[in-house]
Each structure stands twice: as structure tokens, then as C-alpha cells.
Structure 1
Amino acid sequence: MKYRILGATETHAPDGTPVPLGGARLRSLLAALALRPGREVAAGALVDEVWGGEPPRDAAAALQALVGRLRKALGHEALASGPGGYRLVAERGDVDLYRFEDLLGEGSAALDAHSYTKAAEVLRSALGLWRGPALADLPEATAEARHAEDLRHTAVRRRVEADLGAGRAAALVPELRGLTAAHPYDERLHGLLLRALRADGRPADALAAYEDLRRTLAEHLGTDPGHELRALHAELLRETTGPAPAPAATPLPETPLAPTT
């Protein structure tokens, strides 16, 4: 079985056929279990994650009933019982969150090795696993969900770096405009926008983008861009202004010829 928790919780049979899951509580329970494939999860932790801050009066009985319904949907062998909880019988690679993490590691390694085309392809595959917010069916945001979203943002940045290294600067500029608008304080994204504009032959636009960022940071955070961005800004200034032209030579006054004798 394959489990998808990067978005609404889904299950697929080995042949790829979707498995109907039923209501929201059932999807919440499966999401909580798929977050720890092959590991026993305590009943109390499952109650907290499935019902959030509003557990039922007889939480233990409600959880048992929900486990029975999940076994009916997935097959009895998919869910094991332990001394203090329940375990989803699955491997790490059966859950899309962990396939995403593995692909992120593979793509980052390719990027660090300057294999830009391969890195962009692998990272694009990793991001393609996302269908919505991580663990969307859990009633309350968890630390694991926030961590997954942070990794997603890292994957986007790394994929942009790979595409930039592969020479796709012109196509990246509109995307980076949108990303920097959505994350106005992410200096790494702004640095990628500046580099993409420079690679696209638009250094003046890159300088204007830097000035926009400098103004935003000053007004909202009371700070200046970091050292890396300031160094990039200095490079852009040198490229756009160039060395000062040498002063023109002043012509010497003409000396009249002496009369011949």
C-alpha cells in the first residue's frame, strides 16, 4: 500500500487503485499513523492528534472503533496492535512525505555537484508529490507538518538554483517575482532573483529589485540586507557603472611657423 499525506490523506493499492477511506476522522487517524510508518503510536497520542483539543468522552472506545473501521478499509493486516497503541504496517518509502525527503536529499547532492539538469529534474519530481498542505487532515498543525513545509520551501529554492545553473534565467524571473512577493523577507530568494535578472542581461532591474528589498527590510524590520546580498549588489554596481573613462586629452595650441628667410 502507498500512503499520501502531503495534502488530503489518500491510500493507493499496490496496483495504483485508490482505496476509499470514508470520513474525516478516519483520514486523520491514517495520517497520524502514516507519519510514523512501522512504529507503534501510543493510543493517547492518537487521540490527541485525531480529535485535537476536543476528545470524545470515552476516547479509548472511540479510538478502537475508528481503528476497526480503518482495518475494514485497508485490510486487517495493514494495521497492527501493540501493548500501548497501534502501528501502520508500512515502510518509510511507502509514505509520500519520506519519498519527498529522499528526493530532496538526492537533488541537493546533485546540485552541490553542479549537475544542474539532473538536480532540477529530481527536485521537480520531489515537489510534484505535494498536493496541498502537509498533514492537511489533522485538526491541529503539528511540528512535523511545519517541518515538512519548511523542507518544501527549501526544495523550491534548491530547484530554482538548479534551473538557474542550467541556464533558464529568463523563465525563472516571473516565478521569482511571485516567490519574493510571497516571502518578502527571504533574502536567499531575493538573491536568486537578482542573479536571474543579471543572467538575463537586466542588471538595472536587478539593482532596482535590491533597492526594493532594502527599503522593505528597513521599513518593516529595521535592518539592512545581509552580507551576501550586499556583496552581490556591489558586483552589480561595478558591472553597470564600469571603470571611469579616461579624461580626454587637451589639444595643444597651434604654434605658428617661423617665417623662412
Structure 2
Amino acid sequence: MEQLWPGVPMESALRNLRVTLHAARHALEPEPAPRTPSSYVAAEGEMLFLTVGRVRVDVDEAEESASVALASGDADALGAALASLGRELLPEDRCADWARERRRRVEALCEELVRRLAERLLADGRTKDAVGVLREALDRSPADERLHLLLVRTWCAMGRPRQAIRQYHASREALAEELGVRPGAELEALHRTALAALDARTVAPRARTTPDLAHLDALVLISAGTPWD
């Protein structure tokens, strides 16, 4: 009653509770027999609870599937568990204190599923799928440095230093904007690795051991004022 009607006198809160319970029971069982207790909402002294065995709680089932998937490490199971937990928990009660801790727990579990799924996909050689999973997760949590780190490492492993550098700068911007911090040492080291790989790729084609004599002759003729044929 304190949670539902804070500041309301006890007598009024108790009356509100009785009306609410009556409405809830009729919503769950539209045509109950007279004086029949609810099959779903039970009371025991001052405790109210949902009847075990008659009620399924989707987030409980999703958390259980996630635990099984994390233990198995199977990519399909991890993906299915992530899809089950990917929706926001109780969006209509986003600011309610009583839902905050459970929401944090679900969010932490989702983060773990994303990392494990991406790592599994990379180990299986499914790099494009791994990149897709990480990008989608970063759309939801742009300041998650661990996701940025994994994606930069993925780009480096794929031999795509430009994308790795772009991702580093995206992480730097998001971390500065949301948290006021810079990327950690590991992400900075990967950035330097990507820069070195890009420099090596850019410089290598410029090395030339034999001059191009045809081009050299043309330059001599132009510099001497010889007209074009």
C-alpha cells in the first residue's frame, strides 16, 4: 500500500487495495464462481503473491535460458537468449524504484550475452554476424567501452584498419560525451596498432626501385618547352 498509494491514510489505502485486487482477479478470471478464491492471486496473512505453478513470468524464463546459453557457449542459444532479453523491462515503470534493480540485472546479463555471442561468432569465423551483433548493441549502449574494444579488435583481425580507427574515434567521442573519460590503455593500444597497419599499407605501394623512363622522358620534353604531339 505504501508503494501504490504513498501518503494516503491506511484506511483509504486498504480500501484501494481491496478494489484493485477485485479488479485484478476478475481480469484474470472473468467469470469466477461465487466465493471462490483466485487461481492466480493468493493471500496469506499480510502477504500477496502469484500462485506458483499457475503463473509464468517471462523475465524469469528468459534469465534461466540465458544462464543455460552462457554455460553452453552455443551461438544459436546465446542469440535466442539475447533476443528474449533484448526488450526493455517494464518500460511503463521506467522510473519506479522497485523495478530499478531488476532492470539493472537484466541489462548486465544482456551485456554479457552480447560479448559471449560476439566472441563465439568470431571463433566460428562468422565475422560479419559478430560485427552486426556488436553494432546493434552499441546503438543501445554507445558508451560501453568493452563493446567498442571488441569491435575494434574485430576490425583489426579482419585486416580493416580504417574501420578500426573510425570505431576508436566513435568510442572516444561517446566516452567523452557521456562519461567524461578517455578510452582505456587496451583500446589505445589497438588504435596504435591500426594506425601502424594503415601506414604500412599506404607506404608500401609508393616504394619504387626502377624509375619509369617513359614518364621521365615526357617530363624532360615538357620542361624543355616541347609542344604536345
TM-score w.r.t. the length of structure 2 is 0.65
Where 2:42 maps in the other structure, the secondary structure is strand
Where 2:39 maps in the other structure, the secondary structure is helix
Point out which structure has higher relative CO (alpha carbons under 8 A, 6+ apart): 1
Q: CA deviation at 1:207?
A: 2.3
Percent of aligned pairs sharing the same letter: 32
The amino acid that maps onto 2:185 is: H
For residues 140 and 154 of structure 2, the distance between their equivalents in structure 1, rounded to whole angstroms, comes to: 18
1:155 aligns with 2:113: yes
Whether the 8 Å contact between 1:127 and 1:155 is mirrored in structure 2 is yes
Q: Which residue of 2 aligns with 1:71?
A: 25
For residues 171 and 177 of structure 2, the distance between their equivalents in structure 1, rounded to whole angstroms, comes to: 10
Whether the 8 Å contact between 2:25 and 2:41 is mirrored in structure 1 is yes
1:39-188 → structure 2 map (5 Å cutoff)? 44=1, 48=3, 51=4, 58-75=12-29, 76-90=38-52, 94-111=56-73, 118=74, 120-130=75-85, 132-138=87-93, 140-141=95-96, 142-143=99-100, 144-188=102-146
Q: Which residue of 2 aligns with 1:213?
A: 171
The amino acid that maps onto 2:83 is: G
Whether the 8 Å contact between 2:119 and 2:130 is mirrored in structure 1 is no
Whether the 8 Å contact between 2:145 and 2:175 is mirrored in structure 1 is no
What whole-Å deviation, never above 9, does each CA across 1:5-27 have from its counterpart, x for those lacking one? xxxxxxxxxxxxxxxxxxxxxxx
What whole-Å deviation, never above 9, does each CA across 1:68-112 have from its counterpart, x for those lacking one? 23333435122221111211112599322112222222222233x
Larger-Rg structure: 2
The amino acid that maps onto 2:79 is: R
Query: How many pairs were matched up?
Result: 194
Whether the 8 Å contact between 1:108 and 1:158 is mirrored in structure 2 is yes
What whole-Å deviation, never above 9, does each CA across 1:143-173 have from its counterpart, x for those lacking one? 2234323333433333333323322212343
C-alpha distance 145-55 of structure 1, shift in aligned 2 (>3 A): farther
The Cα RMSD (Å) is: 3.7
For residues 204 and 78 of structure 1, the distance between their equivalents in structure 2, rounded to whole angstroms, comes to: 57
Where 2:48 maps in the other structure, the secondary structure is strand
Whether the 8 Å contact between 2:86 and 2:110 is mirrored in structure 1 is no
Whether the 8 Å contact between 2:89 and 2:103 is mirrored in structure 1 is yes
Structure 2: segments with no counterpart, 5+ residues: 30-37, 209-229
The amino acid that maps onto 2:13 is: A
C-alpha distance 126-54 of structure 1, shift in aligned 2 (>3 A): farther
Q: CA deviation at 1:181?
A: 4.5
For residues 54 and 184 of structure 2, the distance between their equivalents in structure 1, rounded to whole angstroms, comes to: 39
Q: Which moves more between the two structures, 181-190 or 209-218?
A: 209-218
For residues 230 and 199 of structure 1, the distance between their equivalents in structure 2, rounded to whole angstroms, comes to: 16
C-alpha distance 53-196 of structure 1, shift in aligned 2 (>3 A): farther
